[in-house]
Structure 1
Amino acid sequence: MGRWAVAVRTGHTVLSWGLTLVLFLNQTELRQQEAQGELFRPLLFVLLVLCSVLLYFAVSLMDPGYVGPETAPHAQAGTSEERKAMVPQKHPTIYLHRCGYCMLKQPLRARHCRSCKRCVRRYDHHCPWIENCVGERNHPVFVAYLALQLVVLVWALRLAWSGIRFDQPWGAWLRHTGLLFAAFVLLAVFTAVVALLLASHLYLVSCDTTTWEFMSPHRIFYLRHRSGSPFDRGLARNLGRFFCGCEAVSWEMLYTPEDSEPV
């Protein structure tokens, strides 16, 4: 683990608990409930913050789906009825190219990450906030983390607003409420960013495409001259395969090229 990764993850942890501490130290609804002995909501909020931090470390430390030397084009193909229905009876040979950086043969939808210096299966993007790639293995955890983080941020935003008072002189207001107002602004920015990220990833998952495929279809051979993802099997199947799949998918078996040939 590099020093920068340690610094980023430490910064996330300190920021999460620092903002939580600000909400408890000021006259927010959380502080008032704690003072009145109503501990259910304060404890629930702390538990949600803890879960979001744990999910953050899970998605940032786990293997995103690194390509290993043993990976073969049709290795780990499923045998379920659903997958058999999706595999065409006759499909042309998929010519997989060898990565110019790590010299491994890349499965379909894999890409080399220059930050991680590894090829990642079903590469989505490299996230600097978690200092890890988002790929086939940790993408569902990443979406779950965004959803839980959004819940925590919206609740924290409401709590911060409940403690802001505008009926004081400027000097007194700055001393008593300035830090809480700064936390409110920061929470508002984070809420907007996380909401946009979650909405975009849910949309991409619903049509079984990735951020890399969505942003650069002209650079990917299996997306050229296509209007959509060749792996899209409908909303229900896409969501089921994404959130409930427990093994790597052989995308070569699900790829049905039309007129264009890989180059």
Structure 2
Amino acid sequence: MRLRAAQAGLSAGIGAALFLHPTDLRLQAEEGSLLAPLCFVGLILSSVALYFVVSLMDPGFVRSHPEHTKPASALQESGSKGQEILAFQQDVPEVRLRRCGYCLLKQPMRAKHCRECRHCVRRYDHHCPWIENCVGERNHRLFVLYLAVQLVVVVWAMEASWSGLGPLPASFSWPWLRQNLLLLLCFLVLLVCAVVAALLLASHAYLAACNTTTWEFMSRHRISYLRGCPEEENPFDRGVFRNLWGFFCARRSVRWEALHPSAV
């Protein structure tokens, strides 16, 4: 809970600092041009809201009666929206599923037990200490959206903080440093955040395009359903477009056993 409070406090603190100093955002607000300042505040509020949603929501915990145990007829009752997913769930041989040694539930393929959350998570990606939650099947796309919004906010805030520093002195000046110390610290913190957010966003966009996860990418040699596949082969890859469509637009759980070679 402390990290969640720190995220909200850091966002509010940096936002306030940018309006307390003579930055472009403050000058525009004083001149009555409110579009940019209001958009900036709206983006900050959106990033904080996304953070709490991703942090507090169920990332895809495997329950006592997971969806993959339902018969195909029960899955089809959901209507035509899931036709693409259900198309490769029918007439698939049963695959022997691994039983979790911690919670004793049968794990759907691509699920992993998280010791911090004490649950198995469907399509487990990683446990993120910053959000104090796992990133999995249900919140992965929102996690990527949060990174994108956060990156836009951080880059915009960097530009605003730099504009408030004014002309840099030709030589070191204590009066200039005292006057601009807060903005300078904000810029340095934002620079670190921008690099981290950009690297995370790029890596997760790549993983989504390949239909793989951080856990599968980093620990392929430890995962039973990937050890038997050729080194460069991803059994869940359906092409970049279909991978991205399934990642960002699919609203239902996928039975990944149907795409694995052992099910064919």
* TM-score (norm. length: structure 2): 0.90
Give 1:236 shift: 1.2
- For 2:90 and 2:252, locate their aligned partners in 1 and report how far apart those are by CA, in whole Å: 20
- For 1:203 and 1:196, locate their aligned partners in 2 and report how far apart those are by CA, in whole Å: 11
Tell me, yes or no, if the aligned pair for 2:3 and 2:130 is still in contact at 8 Å.
yes
More helix by share: 2
Letter in 1 for 2:221: H
- For 2:151 and 2:259, locate their aligned partners in 1 and report how far apart those are by CA, in whole Å: 33
Letter in 2 for 1:237: R
Give 1:76 shift: 7.6
- What residue in structure 2 maps to residue 237 of structure 1? 242
- Which sections of structure 1, spanning at least 5 residues, go unmatched? 1-5
Letter in 2 for 1:21: A
Deviations 1:185-220 (A, max 9, x none): 000000000000000000000010000000000011
Give 1:144 shift: 0.6
- What residue in structure 2 maps to residue 206 of structure 1? 209
- What residue in structure 2 maps to residue 3 of structure 1? none
Q: 1:49 aligns with which of 44, 64, 77?
A: 44
Q: 1:18 aligns with which of 13, 18, 24?
A: 13
- For 2:241 and 2:254, locate their aligned partners in 1 and report how far apart those are by CA, in whole Å: 17
* TM-score (norm. length: structure 1): 0.90
Q: 1:140 to 1:76 in 2, by over 3 A?
A: farther
- For 1:84 and 1:155, locate their aligned partners in 2 and report how far apart those are by CA, in whole Å: 43
- For 2:254 and 2:85, locate their aligned partners in 1 and report how far apart those are by CA, in whole Å: 9
Give 3-state SS (helix, strand or coil) of 1:246's partner. coil
In the TM superposition, 1:122-201 aligns within 5 A as: 122-165=123-166, 166-167=168-169, 170-201=173-204
Q: 1:186 to 1:120 in 2, by over 3 A?
A: same
Q: 1:81 to 1:37 in 2, by over 3 A?
A: closer
- What residue in structure 2 maps to residue 256 of structure 1? 261
Tell me, yes or no, if the aligned pair for 1:73 and 1:252 is still in contact at 8 Å.
no
- For 2:28 and 2:2, locate their aligned partners in 1 and report how far apart those are by CA, in whole Å: 34
- For 1:135 and 1:188, locate their aligned partners in 2 and report how far apart those are by CA, in whole Å: 28
Aligned length: 253
1:108 aligns with 2:109: yes
- Which sections of structure 2, spanning at least 5 residues, go unmatched? 77-81
CA RMSD in angstroms comes to: 2.0
Q: 2:27 aligns with which of 32, 51, 74?
A: 32
Tell me, yes or no, if the aligned pair for 2:95 and 2:263 is still in contact at 8 Å.
no
Give 1:163 shift: 1.1
- For 2:151 and 2:240, locate their aligned partners in 1 and report how far apart those are by CA, in whole Å: 23
Tell me, yes or no, if the aligned pair for 2:95 and 2:262 is still in contact at 8 Å.
no
Tell me, yes or no, if the aligned pair for 1:66 and 1:121 is still in contact at 8 Å.
yes
- For 2:214 and 2:203, locate their aligned partners in 1 and report how far apart those are by CA, in whole Å: 9
Give 1:75 shift: 3.2
Give 1:82 shift: 3.0
Give 1:83 shift: 3.5
